[in-house]
């Protein structure tokens, strides 16, 4: 099956917002999200932070119901690839590449059906925060995990390159 993606700078429903760091002699502070700046359906139900070693890729995977609210602040910089896998979307089979992190701090909203992966493209260990709108594995972790994973599928069309 020969499927090609159209490279674009935007996919419907994906949002990137610069995060301003307020710096003083103590360090810095950054607002990650505000309820008056995002839709109520995206309000976080949980959050986590992950550490990714330099050169390591996480993903690609997608969610059927969950919206991810990533924050890339540093340390390190990340290359992020998004693929629209929603057949009813006007941007179906569009691909977007972003560079976010220490040198370009931003939040990234990834709606359900958008396949996503990121790579720590720097030489430092990198932190990523996610404030998802669904609980991982549901209440008390008793539900099926909402993930379709592609990283171990040798026939996947979602290739990080």
Q: What is the pLDDT of residues 15-63, one digit of tens each?
A: 999 999 999 999 999 999 999 999 999 999 999 999 999 999 999 999 9
pLDDT tops 80 at residue 3? no
122 CB neighbour count, 10 Å cutoff: 19
Per-residue confidence (pLDDT) for residue 122, from 0 to 100: 96
CATH number listed for the domain at residues 6-137: 2.60.120.10
- Dihedral of alpha carbons 134, 49, 74, 29, sign: positive
pTM for this structure? 0.93
Per-residue confidence (pLDDT) for residue 14, from 0 to 100: 96
19 CB neighbour count, 10 Å cutoff: 16
Average pLDDT, the chain: 94
- Return d(Cα 134, Cα 112) in angstroms, integer: 11
- Return d(Cα 59, Cα 81) in angstroms, integer: 10
CA 149 to chain centre: 14
Residue 155: CA count within 13 A, CB half-sphere: 2
pLDDT tops 60 at residue 1? no
Query: What single-letter DSSP state applies at residue 5?
Result: P
pLDDT tops 90 at residue 160? yes
Per-residue confidence (pLDDT) for residue 15, from 0 to 100: 94
């Amino acid at each position: 099956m020969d499927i090609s993606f159209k490279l674009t700078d935007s996919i419907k429903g994906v949002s990137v917002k610069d995060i301003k760091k307020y710096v003083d002699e103590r360090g810095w502070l950054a607002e990650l999200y505000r309820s008056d700046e995002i839709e109520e359906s995206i309000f976080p139900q949980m959050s986590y932070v992950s550490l990714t070693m330099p050169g390591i890729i996480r993903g690609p995977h997608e969610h059927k119901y969950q919206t991810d609210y990533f924050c890339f602040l540093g340390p390190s910089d990340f290359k992020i690839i998004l693929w629209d896998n929603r057949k009813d979307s006007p941007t179906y089979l569009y691909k977007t590449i972003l560079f976010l992190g220490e040198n370009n701090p931003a939040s990234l909203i990834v709606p359900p059906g958008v396949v996503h992966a990121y790579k720590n493209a720097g030489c430092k260990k990198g932190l990523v925060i996610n404030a998802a709108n669904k609980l991982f594995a549901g209440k008390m972790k008793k539900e099926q995990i909402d993930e379709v994973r592609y990283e171990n599928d040798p026939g996947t069309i979602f290739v990080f390159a």
